[in-house]
Copies of this chain bind each other. A is one copy, B any other.
Amino acid sequence: MKIDRAVVKALPLFDRMSDEDLDKLLGHASPRRVPQGDTVFEQGQPAVSFYLLLHGRLKVTQVTADGQQIIVRVVHPGDLFGFAKALQRSDYPGTAIAAAESLTLGWPTDLWPSFVEHNPRLAVSAMQTIGQRLEEAHTRIREMSTQEVERRVAHAVLRLAKKAGRKEDGGIRIDFPISRQDIAEMTGTTLHTVSRILSAWESLGLVEGGRQKLIVKNPAGLSELAEGSKDQA
């Protein structure tokens, strides 16, 4: 399969890299088409590769010892994922599963250290990426510590709309199949509660739901909910 160099070059992570270096990088990369529902790697497997998502959408999940599942994060096009080696561990901490048909680019994990040492710029960029992810994690911790479920769901939906939203007639549609269960696993609640909340929102005209479908009709209204306007009164 032919890899479009321009696509990769457009990503912030690689934009400072010379064409020469980039070609060398792409020379080692293996593209892979991932059908919906298939996994790129699974929790506990040895980390043999790290990846870049070119197209589609992935969910990274973790299963706890007692069988409960959570969604750690959603991978959007342009995101690097599965670089366990950078986290100083030899196996993947989670499972990456395609929420929609996806296209990934994979490199052998062994190449990571040499990449980083040969391209300090890349090292800095990668570190910033992880840093941002850390901040997102802290945001989530903060939300889960201090906010009730409805606000957390509001935040999660707004984030999805921003990261994976596509404008549509009178609303922003989440551009990949997403279930109530998924949202529940992102916010630390149950699908029942999510369903109730979305139903309530739908009757308020804030969103429009459906089977694995979600359209935000009134982002401003949702934001108000998310920010907890009740304190302002």
Residues of A within 8 A of B (CB): 62, 64-66, 68, 70, 72, 86-89, 93, 113, 116-117, 120, 123-124, 126-128, 130-135, 137-138, 140-142, 144-146, 185, 188, 227-228, 231
By DSSP majority rule, is chain A's interface helix, strand, loop, or mixed? helix
Closest to A60 in B: B138
Residues of B contacting A137 in the complex (Cβ-Cβ under 8 angstroms): 134, 137-138, 141
CB pair A141 B86 closer than 8 Å: no
Task: Supply 15 A–B pairs (Cβ within 8 Å), ascending by A.
Answer: A64-B142, A68-B146, A72-B141, A88-B128, A89-B135, A116-B124, A123-B124, A126-B127, A127-B127, A130-B131, A133-B134, A134-B137, A137-B141, A141-B144, A141-B188
Please, how many angstroms separate the alpha-carbon atoms of A86 and B66 in the complex?
A: 36
Q: From the candidates B68, B113, B128, B145, name the one contacting A87 in the complex (CB within 8 A).
A: B128
Residues of B contacting A87 in the complex (Cβ-Cβ under 8 angstroms): 128, 131-132, 134-135
CB pair A127 B86 closer than 8 Å: yes
Residues of B contacting A231 in the complex (Cβ-Cβ under 8 angstroms): 66
Please, how many angstroms separate the alpha-carbon atoms of A127 and B117 in the complex?
A: 12
Chain multiplicity (copies)? 2
Residues of B contacting A145 in the complex (Cβ-Cβ under 8 angstroms): 68, 70, 144, 185, 188
Please, how many angstroms separate the alpha-carbon atoms of A135 and B134 in the complex?
A: 9
Closest to A140 in B: B141
Residues of B contacting A72 in the complex (Cβ-Cβ under 8 angstroms): 138, 141
Please, how many angstroms separate the alpha-carbon atoms of A128 and B227 in the complex?
A: 34
Please, how many angstroms separate the alpha-carbon atoms of A88 and B70 in the complex?
A: 28
A-B residue pairs, 6 tightest by C-beta: A87-B131, A145-B188, A137-B137, A88-B128, A117-B120, A68-B146
User: Closest Cβ of chain B: how far from A157's Cβ, in Å?
Assistant: 17
Please, how many angstroms separate the alpha-carbon atoms of A140 and B188 in the complex?
A: 12
Please, how many angstroms separate the alpha-carbon atoms of A227 and B140 in the complex?
A: 23
Please, how many angstroms separate the alpha-carbon atoms of A135 and B62 in the complex?
A: 12
Please, how many angstroms separate the alpha-carbon atoms of A95 and B185 in the complex?
A: 30
CB pair A228 B66 closer than 8 Å: yes
Closest to A147 in B: B64
User: Closest Cβ of chain B: how far from A75's Cβ, in Å?
Assistant: 15
Closest to A145 in B: B188
Residues of B contacting A135 in the complex (Cβ-Cβ under 8 angstroms): 87, 89, 93
